[in-house]
Structure 1
Amino acid sequence: MMWVRSLLFNASFYVWTALVATAGLPLLVSPLLVRVGQRLWAVGVVVLLRVFVGVRHEIRGREHLPDGPFIVAAKHQSAWETIIFFLLLDRPAYILKKELLSIPLYGWYALRGGHIAIDRKGGAKALRQLVLDTRAAAALGKVPVIFPQGTRTAPGADVPYQAGIAALYRGMNLPVVPAALNSGLFWGRNAFMKTPGTIVLEFLPPIPPGLEKGAFMTELESRTEAASDRLLEEGRR
């Protein structure tokens, strides 16, 4: 039964995505309209998840989001968190790998929506450009969203945190809000099958600016991993 339900979700997800991407082409005239389209798309995916495979979500810790500018550093286990921040933040600016911009339609929307691309092979020069681009986005009132491990990871996998988040923390002088989650239990990386249940995303208390690089990275990783492990255990129960 879950195979059939997963098939229905996967098919409807791609149909919905193609429909929004093609019908929404006129929205490319305005970044504001692109954001409206992205939010509409995200709402549709959340509804499809609930209807076809029984996956819901719960958001905790909204009280930890600062009133002023900040950066979200989120755990990355699934495609789900590349979608949900369109609904959780007024103006998210995802930090994504440069290669994604070459994807037809997706790349157009990413550029016009003001998301931030990084050349992961570009070394120190790419990190400096990342800081400049993220500063520009924050100056426009956007909230940068970065996945510090740089890729989707299986639940419980030990994957190091990358230099991008350290560069942003040092160069932006903004609080960083860690976000823990357990989405990989229900929508695994490249997994055809989806599992019914409730994805939990939890915003943790912000890490204030000013820490030394090593101390910041240790604080971010230890808090995010401990909270994500707790949510994984909760999800498995």
Structure 2
Amino acid sequence: MLILRSLAFNVLFYANLVLWLVCAALPALLLPPKALQLIAAGWARSALWLMRVVAGTRYEVIGRENIPAGGLMVAAKHQSFWETFTLFTLFPDPVFILKRELMRIPVFGWCLAKLRMIPVDRGARARALKDVTRRARVELGQKGRQLLIFPEGTRRPPGAPPAYKFGVAHLYAELGVPCVPVALNSGLYWPRRQFLRRPGTIRLEILPPILPGLDKASFQHELQGRIEAACDRLLAQGRAELAAQGLDPFAAPDRS
């Protein structure tokens, strides 16, 4: 049953994405960015609906009251593709830092450019960080947007040792805005590089903001400590839920 539901969800998820891109996003490229932003949020909500109805996976957001008004940074744990579109529904005007390669995908990349997402060339390093900082300063300062960044740079398996990069501390110091940490346990239900979609409740927790003013090292320590402690708690909740269904991904295999 789990395999069939996962298969059905994956087919419908990508078919739904193509449908929204061709029928809604492509025509919206001729409209102001706000129209495309509403379409992107609509697609994300439709994907979350499919996940609930087809895969049996719900989600819960904790701590919405911790989002301050105005320009800010959002530093989120990255375990799954799930948060890349779910976060889009939680903030009024988000701008993602993302791989430059995504901008080259027809239609999808055009939409990212229209929404003024910030591409990063991972090979350029220092020059890329300088360019990202310049772009982010414009989007946050002049437009009051919310900069969404995954501080580890890529998806990490649930429970893996943290690998936070220097870039998030650099942006915090340069931009001078609050940083909102986000913890989650999505990797238990939508594992990276896996076909299965497990039923249950994904939990995403928005933690109190870290205000400007810390030095880079202190900020990095505070950010990692907050996110990892909350993720450990959410992973324990998720594992207990999955174990009750006999689906704990960390359980030792039955060799009897």
TM-score (normalizing by structure 1): 0.97
Equivalent residue in structure 1 for 2:179, among 176, 179, 188? 176
1:155 aligns with 2:173: no
Q: How many residues align?
A: 237
2:81 counterpart residue number: 79
2:19 counterpart residue number: 19
Greater Rg, structure 1 or structure 2? 2
Q: CA RMSD in A?
A: 0.9
1:48 counterpart residue number: 50
SS at match of 2:133: helix
Equivalent residue in structure 2 for 1:205, among 191, 208, 219? 208
Deviations 1:87-122 (A, max 9, x none): 111111111011111112211111111211111121
SS at match of 1:58: strand
1:223 counterpart residue number: 226
Any gaps of 5 or more consecutive residues in structure 1? none
Offset at 1:71?
Answer: 0.7
Q: Distance in 2 between matches of 1:89 and 1:127?
A: 24
1:124 aligns with 2:121: no
SS at match of 2:34: helix
Q: Distance in 2 between matches of 1:68 and 1:217?
A: 22
The letter of the residue matching 1:172 is: L
Offset at 1:64?
Answer: 1.1
Q: Distance in 2 between matches of 1:134 and 1:190?
A: 30
Offset at 1:159?
Answer: 3.6
Q: Distance in 2 between matches of 1:234 and 1:219?
A: 23
Instruction: Give the conservation status (yes or no) of the 8 Å contact 2:70–2:144.
Output: no
Offset at 1:40?
Answer: 1.1
The letter of the residue matching 1:149 is: E
Q: Distance in 2 between matches of 1:209 and 1:119?
A: 27
TM-score (normalizing by structure 2): 0.90
Any gaps of 5 or more consecutive residues in structure 2? 241-256
Q: Distance in 2 between matches of 1:79 and 1:153?
A: 11
Q: Distance in 2 between matches of 1:161 and 1:236?
A: 24
Instruction: Give the conservation status (yes or no) of the 8 Å contact 2:64–2:206.
Output: yes
Deviations 1:135-190 (A, max 9, x none): 11112121110000000010001141112211210110011000000000000102
1:8 aligns with 2:8: yes
